[in-house]
Amino acid sequence: MNVPTAHLLYLSAGLFALGVLGFMVRRNVIVVLMCVELMLNAANLAFLAASRQHALEGKPALQGPVFAIFVITVAAAEAAVGLALIIALYRLKQSAETDAAAEMKG
Amino acid sequence: MELVLLTFLPLLGALAVLCTPRAAEGLQRGIALATTLAVAVLGVKLFLGYDVPGGDGAATPYSFSLPWFQLPWRDGTPTQVHFSLAMDGISLLMVTLTAVLMPIVILSTWGHVEKRVKEFMVWMLVMQTGMLGTFLAVDLVLFYFFWEVSLIPLYFLVGIWGGEQRLYATVKFFLYTLAGSLLMMVAIIAILFDRGTSDLGELIAQLGQTPLEQQLWYFAAFALAFGIKVPLLPFHTWLPDAHTQAPTSGSVVLAGVLLKMGTYGLLRFCIQMLPDAAVAAAPWMMALGAIGILYGALLAWAQTDLKRLIACSSVSHLGYVVLGLFALTPAGLSGGMLQMVNHGISTGLLFLLVGMLYERRHSRALDAFGGVATVMPLFALFWVFTVLSSAGLPGLNGFVGEYLILLGSFQSSPLWSVIGLTGVIFGAVYLLMATRKMLFGACTNPENQRLTDLNAREIVLMLPLVVLAVWLGVRPNDFMGKVEPDLAEVGRRVAVARQSTAALEPVTPLTEGVAAR
Amino acid sequence: MPSHESHAWLWWIPLLPLLGSAIAGALHLATLRARHGDPQASAPASLAPWIACGAMLGSFVLSVTGFLELRELEPAARHLASTAHDWISIGGLDVDLGLLLDPLSSVMTLVITGVGFLIHVYASGYMKGDKGYGKFFAYLNLFVFAMLMLVLSSSLLGVFIGWEGVGLCSFLLIGFWYEKGWPAEAAQKAFVMNRVGDACFLIGSFLLIRLFDTLDLATIAHTVGSTVSFTDEQALDMSLAALFLFGGCCGKSAQFPLFTWLPDAMAGPTPVSALIHAATMVTSGIYLVVRLNPLFAASGWVLPLIAIVGALTALIGGSTALVQRDIKKVLAYSTVSQLGYMFLALGSGAWAAALFHVVTHAFFKALLFLGAGSVIHGMHEEQDMHKMGGLRKHMPQTYITFLAGAAALSGLPLLSGFFSKDEILAHAFANGGLYYGLWAVGALTAALTAYYTWRMVALTFFGEERFDHHHVHPHESPLVMTLPLMVLAVLSILGGVLGLPPVLHVPHLLAEWLAPVTDAGNKILAQSPGEHHLSHALEWVLLGLGSAIALGFAHTGFHAHRHGTAQDEFFARKRPTLAATLGDAWTIDSRYARIIVLPLRMLSFLIAVVVDQFAIDGLVNGTGRTARDIAQHSRRAVDGSLASYALWMGAGALAICALWMWS
């Protein structure tokens, strides 16, 4: 059955909004990182929906999934770096809260 | 080539001073004095050797030009910025004044610069290069370059060797002047893109084609930058603070030369380069000048700090120059030019004298003195002489410039001339008040009774200025003769520009063609 | 047109005093140096009076030579000119510095150098022992140089050199004893008031340049004299030029409203008062008007204005002198009054009469001042007449010469002052209309003059001795001081021969001598409507009236005060406000302080504090403060917490999207 593109985009927007909200509100940095992943995946969904929408008759939709693979790769790299930073932060501050490192104040 | 030598000799001297060990103060002073003396000799030689261009503006005898760098312009053709120096009648006197004044300034530092002599001399010499370059540059971008070069040393001179509130004064001076300069830079860039050249000669010929409104914008930007420097009312408030906090030698250079850079710029760029805009803006500038005369005098009257008083008198005196220049009559232009030199001499002398008093008493308050003439008669003699020169006593330099300015502005606008004339009255008031409080009366304060009169070094360094003051007063033609043709050329251009506007018909003289005697 | 031969020797007339000044100054500085070793040293400076008097004598001899040379020439050709120096050729202004000896300037130079020489001799005795002995003569000679430049210059700007030069020397000499404090203030006041006049002078010169394109005095006078008619614009310019030049004269010649510096100037040594404030500097204004008499004659309404101001000044001066107790102040106000007479004469078109009064006034006023100085000297610096009295026994020579001067001043018949004053009044009367009123004022002032002069004589030399005999021992002054007094006394008595009235059928020597200069102006005036000549009968009546007034009021004044200060005290008790007002010169000076000086001072402070410090500088500093405040506020956005940064980032991204979507 054919899911309308609009629904996919709504879902994507909703996931993205959730991700942004969580990014801004949550205190635990790991959760923040998870929200970033959420945002990236929402963008993936949008790519896939759009490429399926604009695919030519008979030809498979390739641009979307290719882009999504790029995004997943970037997300993976970024998660790795982010987790490394979190570990370094935890070692310094013994805490994984966002308020822990506020030395740049002022 | 002589111009390049003249401009960069101080820089070489500065480099030489840099190479000396920190403790060798005598050597540093000696190198600085020798360098400035050499520049002075060269400057005088150039003055004497300057030949008035004959007939219709032949090429100036001293000039030097090298291509420097290129800036992108339109349609792929770049515009060439030149490193060009030239001396003509308008810059002649300014260059000579700068050259001659510096050794006197260096000589005066013996008394009041004790710490970090090396840096002081370096900054002074760098500043001299900047000043000379400003007067000699005939490429707009080069002019701006040298303009900024002369700004920075003064910041350090006041900021390090100045008085108690030196940081406030120097930051204020620097930011204020810089703000104006930045506007000037915008205007220079605009002109570059408008006309495709930054050479002054070409611009003088071409800028007349730019529409008047555009010219007025250029004029406004330049006038603002120069007006801050002059200082023109209401952009003058940096001057009293800067002068009061600056060390004596800094004050002398500031009053003697740096302020003239502003008036020179007004003459060169606002009047010579943009004559149409100058004619249009002249009433405003004359008004500012005339009101400045009065304002500065009244301001000076209320001062209790001697140096601040003289600083305010500078505002008043340079109001005369602006009034004269923007009268745009031959008498006004010549008077303004002459008064630039005169002010450098008389106010320079005033600051030197105040400095000598300060070195002895460490106080600048008028009330701290009184009856000084009894214990320092030579000082009193020099002081009264300088006051008379500043007040425009006939026979001394101040009078000739003042009279020409007032005459010239009377021919343009009797109203502003009369307002400026009141400056003659108030000038006497505040100068005599200061003289009376300082020199006359009974010498009751024991601190004053112990004062020693001028020593040989101090007399020697003031003598050239005294001689110049008398010479300029008795034989001004010797100096202005070389300047007149170029000023007359400016006057002609202005007259052409004025033809479009309805000019006042002068009253027909009753003695047509009688040679005045 | 002036002859173009160069009479270069003319330059020695002003240059000798200049040289004398330089040498005397050097002697003074040498004395100061000598005092480092010996505080009582006076050696080099004691030569100064010889140098100064020698210079004066030399100038006088040259002036006489010039005068004699002029006499050899035809009246129309009496010009000796010397152009030395192309002073200014800048910006279209062409001024040459040259000298012109003609009848007018020769009279002036004779008076300046002659009377000046006598005063110099006197001063060598009067100032003996003063710390600034050498300096005094340096200043005095410098003054004479400036004054000679004033009267000899052929160009208005050259006159201005002298004009300001005498103002400078006046400043230096009034404030000569500056340690006392108040002389310095008086000197400053004199200079500033003079400057007000000088500003008017400059405006006048600009107008002259606009009209004539030259500042050469002879050319201007000739042009006005020979032009048949002027356009309205030119006439207005000429009137304005005359008006402003007269303003300059008011400053220099102490006319209302610029006269209050003169009484204060008495703070200077008495020879200074005699030379500068009686005989020479204050007469500069009259010289200028006579020199440019065609311009003033053609100036329409300016001439009556000059006469009114002159008459008013005469009245103010004369009435104030009535109640003064300081002998020098009496003479100062008397000078103001007599100068008023001279301007009344000028305003009536009587150029020669004005100059005649200048000459006679120089004689008798210098005499009176020097005599007063002798009295002060003998009374150990006492100047209050209420503390004098009966001095004729102690100072007979001073007394006799003083009498001569007083007689001349009060206009007693046949003395010099009588002839000059009556000539002025006759000319005023002859003009009719407004001038009848001015004549009346002049006659009234003559009465006052006689009264206060003989009051002064009585209080000083007659009556009981009101001084403290233990501390004050009045003595006669030495010969070096009394000899000039005697010479001046002779001149005061006989000086009248220079200008005997026409009713006596003898030529008016001075008027004839000055004719080449004054003819042009007289011709212009003759064209205007109105009576200009008095019948002989009327002249005799006026002469008789003048004599009667002089004798009558002299008698009254003398006898009222013969026996002491009772009359003065009575007057002060009976009419205290009148006495106070008169004593304060009609409260003009205190009004100046209140109406002009104080508001200006307040304006100055207003500008310095409110406008400059608060408003303008406040704006400048305000921009700095504003920049700093903005920075402070912006700091709050950077609080170190990740969450807020995230928030800002998100908001920013949203804003960009919105912009992009709705652009």
Judge whether residue B509 has pLDDT over 70. Answer: no
Identify whether the C-beta of residue B328 lies closer than 8 Å to the C-beta of residue B308. Answer: no
SS3 assignment, position B317: helix
Strands B62-72 and C80-90, sheet pairing: unpaired
Which residue is listed with tokens 């993205």?
Answer: A16
Candidate from B417, B428, B517 with C-beta closest to C216: B517
Cα separation of the two ends of chain C: 86
Q: Over the range C597-636, which residues count as b (16 or more CB within 10 Å of their CB) and which as e?
A: eeeeeeebeebbeebbeeebbeebeeeeeeeeeeeeeeee
Identify whether the C-beta of residue B278 lies closer than 8 Å to the C-beta of residue B271. Answer: yes
Q: Does A71 touch chain C (CB under 8 A)?
A: no
Chain A positions in Cβ-Cβ contact with residue C639 (cut-off 8 Å): 102, 105-106
Chain C positions in Cβ-Cβ contact with residue B299 (cut-off 8 Å): 604, 607-608, 612
pLDDT at C2: 45
Which residue is listed with tokens 């804003």?
Answer: C655
pLDDT at B505: 40
Judge whether residue B37 has pLDDT over 90. Answer: yes
pLDDT at B263: 95
**Of C414, C411, C433, C412, residue with least CA distance to C424:** C411
pLDDT in tens, B91-121: 999 999 999 999 999 999 987 888 889 999 9
The secondary structure of residue C265, as a DSSP letter, is: G
pLDDT at B56: 45
Neighbours of C178 (CB within 10 A): 24
- Written as six digits, the tokens of A71 are 């995004």
pLDDT at B217: 92
Judge whether residue B491 has pLDDT over 90. Answer: no
Mean pLDDT by 10 residues, chain C (663 residues): 65 92 90 80 82 93 92 83 83 87 92 94 90 90 94 93 93 89 88 92 93 89 83 89 93 89 90 87 91 90 92 92 90 93 92 92 93 89 84 89 92 87 88 86 92 91 82 84 91 85 79 85 79 77 88 89 82 82 82 86 86 82 89 84 84 92 88
Q: Which residues partner with B62 through β-bridges?
A: B87
- Written as six digits, the tokens of B344 are 């450098």
| B370-399: average pLDDT | 90
pLDDT at B447: 79
Contact A106 C639 (CB under 8 A): yes
Strands B78-87 and B62-72, sheet pairing: antiparallel
pLDDT at B500: 63
pLDDT at B492: 86
Largest CA distance in chain C: 119
Judge whether residue A84 has pLDDT over 90. Answer: yes
pLDDT at B59: 52
pLDDT in tens, B186-208: 999 998 888 888 888 888 888 87
Contact C643 A24 (CB under 8 A): yes
The secondary structure of residue B199, as a DSSP letter, is: B
Identify whether the C-beta of residue C214 lies closer than 8 Å to the C-beta of residue C220. Answer: yes
Q: DSSP characters for C531-570?
A: -----HHHHHHHHHHHHHHHHHHHHHHHHHTTT-SHHHHH
**Of C229, C238, C233, residue with least CA distance to C299:** C238
pLDDT at C198: 93
pLDDT at C530: 63
SS3 assignment, position B13: helix
pLDDT at C532: 66
Q: Determine the Cα–Cα distance for residues B482 and B341; give it in Å rounded to an integer.
A: 14
Contact C646 A102 (CB under 8 A): no
pLDDT at B503: 42
Judge whether residue B514 has pLDDT over 70. Answer: no
Report the share of chain B in percent with pLDDT over 70: 95
Helix, strand, coil share of chain C (percent; to 5)? 75, 5, 20
Identify whether the C-beta of residue C225 lies closer than 8 Å to the C-beta of residue C523. Answer: yes
Largest CA distance in chain B: 78
Interaxial angle between packed helices C48-72 and C103-126, expressed in degrees from 0 to 180 and rounded to the nearest 10 = 160
The stretches of C381-495 forming alpha helices (DSSP H) are: 396-410, 416-431, 434-461, 479-494
Judge whether residue B508 has pLDDT over 50. Answer: no
Q: Exposure of B359 by Cβ count < 10 A (0-12 exposed, 13-18 middle, 19+ buried)?
A: middle
Q: Does A98 touch chain C (CB under 8 A)?
A: yes
Contact A20 C639 (CB under 8 A): no
pLDDT at A1: 61
pLDDT at C650: 85
Is this prediction's pTM over 0.95? no
Query: Which residue of chain B has the CA closest to C613?
Result: B237
SS3 assignment, position B183: helix
- Here the ipTM equals 0.89
Q: Determine the Cα–Cα distance for residues B249 and B244; give it in Å rounded to an integer.
A: 12
Residue type, C1: M
Identify whether the C-beta of residue B258 lies closer than 8 Å to the C-beta of residue B150. Answer: yes
| B476-484: average pLDDT | 88
pLDDT at B504: 42
pLDDT at C5: 57
Query: Which residue of chain B has the CA closest to C227?
Result: B510
**Of B108, B113, B103, residue with least CA distance to B161:** B113
CA angle C45, C50, C52 (to 5 degrees): 90
CATH class of A5-102: mainly alpha
| B424-435: average pLDDT | 91
Identify whether the C-beta of residue A23 lies closer than 8 Å to the C-beta of residue A35. Answer: yes
Q: Determine the Cα–Cα distance for residues B195 and B427; give it in Å rounded to an integer.
A: 45
Q: Exposure of B112 by Cβ count < 10 A (0-12 exposed, 13-18 middle, 19+ buried)?
A: middle
CA distances from C504 to C507, C511, C512 (A): 9, 15, 15
CA angle B44, B92, B383 (to 5 degrees): 70
Q: Determine the Cα–Cα distance for residues B284 and C264; give it in Å rounded to an integer.
A: 42
Contact B425 C227 (CB under 8 A): no
If phi > 0 it is left, if psi is from -120 to 50 it is alpha, else beta; for residue B501 that is beta
Contact C647 A24 (CB under 8 A): yes
Q: List the subunits that have 3+ CB pairs under 8 angstroms with C.
A: A, B
Chain C positions in Cβ-Cβ contact with residue A29 (cut-off 8 Å): 642
pLDDT at B516: 35
Cα separation of the two ends of chain A: 56
pLDDT at C40: 75
Q: List the subunits that have 3+ CB pairs under 8 angstroms with A.
A: C
Q: Determine the Cα–Cα distance for residues C18 and C39; give it in Å rounded to an integer.
A: 29
Q: Determine the Cα–Cα distance for residues B143 and B151; give it in Å rounded to an integer.
A: 13
Low-confidence winner among A101-105, B387-391, B471-475 (lowest mean pLDDT) = A101-105
Judge whether residue B501 has pLDDT over 70. Answer: no
Contact A102 C640 (CB under 8 A): yes
Contact B440 C181 (CB under 8 A): yes
The stretches of C127-155 forming alpha helices (DSSP H) are: 133-152
Q: Does A20 touch chain C (CB under 8 A)?
A: yes
